[in-house]
Amino acid sequence: MTSKIKFQFLILFLIAFSINAQEKAVPVFKDGEAQIVEAFNDPEKWIRTDLWVETTFDSDGDGKLDRMHVDVTRPAQTETEGLKLPVVYESSPYYAGVAGNAPGLFWEVKHEIGAKEKPRTHVEVQRRGVRPIISNSQVKTWVPRGYIVVHSSSPGTGLSDGAPTVGGDNESLAPKTVIDWLNGRAKGFTSREGNETITAFWATGKVGMTGTSYNGTIPLAAATTGVKGLEAIIPVAPNTSYYHYYRSNGLVRSPGGYLGEDIDVLYDFIHSGKEENRARNNKIIRDTEMANGMDRMTGDYNDFWAGRDYLNDMKPMKAALLMSHGFNDWNVMPEHSYRIYKKASEMGLPTQIYYHQNGHGGPPPITMMNRWFTHFLHGIDNGVENDAKAWIVREDDKTNAPTAYKNYPNPDAKPVTLYLEAGAPKAGNLSTDKSKSKGEETLVDNYSFSSEMLAQADYTNHRLLYVTPVLKEDLHISGLASITLKAASSKAAVNLSVYLVSLPWTEGRRAKITDNIITRGWADLQNNTSLSKSTPLKPGKFYEMTFDLQPDDQIIKKGQQIGLMIFSSDNNYTLLPKPGTELTIDLEGTKITIPVVGGEDAFKKSVNNVQKIFD
């Protein structure tokens, strides 16, 4: 072959190679976001695989290391063209179904505080289907954009081995092991019991996790292990502390919508794993560890709850954190995200937080999530680390159009302390004037009246209400309100419920709770000096207690009044003792501090006209 022919052959080869290379599908980025690639967007060509990853623990006590059921969905090009892609990963206890709200599942709440409770009825999950069932919730969003999507069932659920511990160590180590497998550091198998191994040859090793509620808790759980390869997480409405979910400042308090639920109820609700292992799991986890640790008698914080508080485990965390929550989420309350976001920021981790005005769930806009994963998983320099730290959906805006702020709470928010002026059984005044805060006022506990009824009542002895003057201008609240109460009970224990509301109450078919609930909080006066040790109250003796209400960011419209409502049993959240307990408030020893953007000047301007400010 002559040199000329060799050269022509080389040119033809290079052209053919170039054409073939151009035909290969690769992720595409525009404006800092991964774009949908047509070659990745054909579900018929996606490769779907079920496998089991072997962990380092045996949480069901059967003598074998637990294996987690994993589902993988990836573009065909990861097989045919050797394409390696990052992973978006979601783990859950819910994929195989749940127990449902069976009769007797929840604890009976109509009894005295601290009384011995009647046993509740235990239920079993009836698992859905016989084949591997796992979610498609992330697949349609991320696979077309150049990601591989992985799902796994958490321990003791679905086709995963082990026992659900509801926040125990195995629920952190299980997703860690899956990430280790994606990075070649753990073993994967093609079957639950077999020895044929399988590798993640198609993964770059970079992993991002996301999910909502329990599925949003697991990304944080994995991140607290410091596992290498978990680059970014986007938890949506995560439960970051099971104490904060089932207790409040020493008080036994249910999550909104689930009166009588506790951690052992959730255990029963999700326990969909091997039927032959359930009795052993029940004995070890529910009937021993949980029964001995959850303490519904006092509601105190203890080692059991400390071990299920992810704030205590954050030191090894390295993953970039984008959190999302609703200010009116009264199931997993907004403090859950705030406390973790605050700590992660203090640790110097990349952080952003997205809050909306609705209830449970609600991820950030896809653009925010896309930019987050594009930067931290694909390595694209899109400047996301320089974006605003906080994004708040204002009251009348769409959830995909948040307003950017320097941080949360708003850096311009300053504490404004308000004092109470007597006015029961109607309403007293709430103002910055401490001189009129004198005397005592008493309410009578009666769970028959809902918080909504009490807030709307013109006249009732079942709550105390203190209101500001009518706002002349909008007032922006951002952060945590804190209340100090000096109170006495006619019994050795009493529920303490505190709401901050806007009045008058909105009525009509379009009215929603977000129109009037600013924030709320609950506490057990027996824990006035210690969260971990409650002391029975001496009837008639006054005790002082300070605690935070739930974080909020809300603009109270002019024409409204801010009302502080103090009452006892909350029939949507607390235990419900026999009506009649008297709760007396010492007004001089009671105050509430609210975070107002612009501070006291802004507050005074909103409750007075301009002329009076300068008088």
**Could you tell me if residue 12 is inside a domain?**
no
Q: What per-residue confidence (pLDDT) applies to 462? A: 98
Is residue 377 domain-shared with residue 494, that is, in the same domain? no
Residue 426 has pLDDT above 70, yes or no: yes
pLDDT bracket for residue 512 (50, 70, 90):
low
pLDDT bracket for residue 135 (50, 70, 90):
confident
Q: What per-residue confidence (pLDDT) applies to 128? A: 73
Is residue 86 domain-shared with residue 183, that is, in the same domain? yes
Is residue 388 domain-shared with residue 422, that is, in the same domain? no
Is residue 556 domain-shared with residue 446, that is, in the same domain? yes
**CATH number for position 228:** 3.40.50.1820
Q: Average of pLDDT values for 172-198? A: 98
Q: What per-residue confidence (pLDDT) applies to 10? A: 46
Strand 247-248 to strand 251-252: parallel, antiparallel, or no bridges (unpaired)?
Answer: antiparallel
Is residue 339 domain-shared with residue 460, that is, in the same domain? no
pLDDT > 90: percent of the chain: 89
Reported as a single tens digit per residue, the pLDDT across 253-288 is 999 999 999 999 999 999 999 999 999 999 999 999
Is residue 349 domain-shared with residue 459, that is, in the same domain? no
Tell me which residue of 272, 342, 288 sits closest to 311, measured CA to CA. 342
**Could you tell me if residue 186 is inside a domain?**
yes
Is residue 395 domain-shared with residue 443, that is, in the same domain? no
**CATH number for position 580:** 2.60.120.260
Say if residues 322 and 369 touch (Cβ distance below 8 Å): yes
Q: Average of pLDDT values for 467-483? A: 98
Is residue 392 domain-shared with residue 436, that is, in the same domain? no
Residue 103 has pLDDT above 90, yes or no: no
pLDDT bracket for residue 614 (50, 70, 90):
very low
Residue 498 has pLDDT above 90, yes or no: yes
Q: Average of pLDDT values for 134-161? A: 96
- Using the 3D structure, point to which of 356, 382, 405 is the last residue of a domain: 405
Is residue 146 domain-shared with residue 109, that is, in the same domain? yes
Q: Average of pLDDT values for 145-157? A: 97
Residues spanned by the domain of 444? 413-614
Reported as a single tens digit per residue, the pLDDT across 320-336 is 999 999 999 999 999 99
Say if residues 259 and 239 touch (Cβ distance below 8 Å): no
Q: What per-residue confidence (pLDDT) applies to 5? A: 46
Q: What per-residue confidence (pLDDT) applies to 507? A: 77
DSSP code of residue 59: T
pLDDT bracket for residue 3 (50, 70, 90):
low
Phi-psi domain of 280 (left: phi exceeds 0; alpha: psi -120 through 50; beta: other): alpha
Q: How far is CA 368 from CA 76, 363, 388, 522, in A?
A: 27, 10, 11, 34
pLDDT bracket for residue 22 (50, 70, 90):
low
Mean pLDDT over each residue of the chain, to the nearest integer: 93
Count of domains forming the chain: 2
**Which residues in 412-441 are b (16+ Cβ under 10 Å) and which e?**
ebbebebbbbbbbbebbbbbeeeeebeebb
Residue 218 has pLDDT above 90, yes or no: yes
Known catalytic residues? 213, 329, 360
Tokens 């052209």 belong to 15
- Using the 3D structure, point to which of 367, 389, 405 is the last residue of a domain: 405
Residue 154 has pLDDT above 50, yes or no: yes
Reported as a single tens digit per residue, the pLDDT across 546-585 is 999 999 999 999 999 999 999 999 999 999 999 999 999 9
Residue 289 has pLDDT above 70, yes or no: yes
What is the CB neighbour count within 10 angstroms for residue 584?
16
Residue 9 has pLDDT above 70, yes or no: no
pLDDT > 70: percent of the chain: 94
